[in-house]
Structure 1
Amino acid sequence: MTTPNQVFEHHELLYVNSKNQPVYEDAMPGVPGIDVQPLFLDPHNGVWVLKVWFHPGVTLPRHYHTGTVHLFTISGHWEYKEYPNDPQTDGCYLYEPGGSIHQFTTPATNTGPTETLMVVHGANVNFDDDGNYLGIMDASDIMIMLDNLIRERGLEPANYITPPQPDHNARVRNVK
């Protein structure tokens, strides 16, 4: 058996230990009660991985997903307003296909924050209750949001994985 050829050199593991990383409280402008810990933000491929704590009574804007979402509920309880009979509690894993539309909420009766881990591909396109466009949230927006939050509050910088920007000046690779 032969060893596979390595296309890119890889000299170190890329990882963060969430136990040693800051959590940014009330991180989302306009929606209090959301604490965020970024783990991976890739604006070039549109992927974001976050640990998020939703406090009791949080309701996100209704949103449309341009890509898939994997959402793990570590602790607590949340649900989509459209699916009240399918509450998500600790241990639940939810897959959302691209093109899905829903509104996330944590019941005000929750006794503590709901902890989640999400892997999102693409963007959330957000709408108000009347269906009017509010804005978009993707990996780039999250990076800017965190940078502004850190600067405005004088917080410890975020430490998350982000792939390098593609080199658009690179030559085309011709293999013969």
Structure 2
Amino acid sequence: MTIPFPIHAQDALLTINTDEQPFVKNALPGVHVMPCFLDTENGVWVLRVQFEPGTVLPRHFHTGCVHLYTISGSWHYTEYPDQPQTAGSYLYEPGGSVHQFQVPETNTEVTDTFMAVFGANINFDENDEFMNVMDAGWIETIMLEAAKAQGIVPRYIKPKSTAGYSDEE
């Protein structure tokens, strides 16, 4: 067997150095986002995210799985206060899980994380009423609005959509 013909020819690697890219500050209150990969068509979002001490995200339901690595700081789920995630922790969240992310107010630094999310978060308020759907498209929209206000043009990998008919150019 010979090596297959490449379907997607590349002139260069698609790579992002997160130590060289700026964070979009307060894309959500207390949440600083650096997009790495946003695929709105397939619902995949890969982000480096920093959370300020005391940040609490809405309770949410995951439609897909999440891989989350904690670089520095600490956080925990409200439902699991005795299982804090600290520097070096890797967490796998299966699709269908429900929880609320929070960073202790006692943290003295931002909590720095890297996450790969598949699907969407269905967010709920404090009364468990539906708030919104957070997916790759929502993240991209919110992040780009905040970046524009800050004079930042984020650089991230975004697959080109190929939706359309084969006989159209």
* In 2, Cα distance between equivalents of 1:34 and 1:77: 14
Q: How does 1:50-129 map to 2 (within 5 A)?
A: 50-129=47-126
Return the letter of the residue paired with 1:38.
P
Answer yes or no: is 1:9 the counterpart of 2:12: no
Match of 1:26, SS state, is strand
Instruction: Name the structure 1 match of 2:127.
Output: 130
Instruction: Name the structure 1 match of 2:162.
Output: 166
Q: Verify the 8 A CA contact 2:122 2:132 in the aligned structure 1.
A: yes
Q: CA RMSD in A?
A: 1.5
* In 2, Cα distance between equivalents of 1:47 and 1:120: 6
Superposed CA offset, 1:47-75 (max 9, x none): 00111111111110000001000000000
Match of 2:141, SS state, is helix
Name structure 1 gaps, 5 residues minimum: 172-176
Q: TM-score, normalised by structure 1?
A: 0.90
* In 1, Cα distance between equivalents of 2:163 and 2:95: 29
TM-superposed deviation, 1:5? 3.3
Of 17, 36, 40, which aligns to 2:33?
Answer: 36
TM-superposed deviation, 1:3? 1.8
Superposed CA offset, 1:64-118 (max 9, x none): 0010000000001100011111110000000000000000001100111100000
Of 130, 136, 139, which aligns to 1:139?
Answer: 136
Instruction: Name the structure 1 match of 2:151.
Output: 155
What fraction of aligned residue pairs are identical, expressed as a percent? 49
TM-superposed deviation, 1:139? 0.6
Return the letter of the residue paired with 2:66.
V
Return the letter of the residue paired with 1:168.
G
Match of 2:138, SS state, is helix
Name structure 2 gaps, 5 residues minimum: none
* In 2, Cα distance between equivalents of 1:103 and 1:154: 28
Instruction: Name the structure 2 match of 1:25.
Output: 25
* In 2, Cα distance between equivalents of 1:147 and 1:170: 31
TM-superposed deviation, 1:154? 4.3
Return the letter of the residue paired with 1:14.
L
TM-superposed deviation, 1:156? 1.6
Q: Verify the 8 A CA contact 2:24 2:152 in the aligned structure 1.
A: no
TM-superposed deviation, 1:160? 0.4
Greater strand content: 2
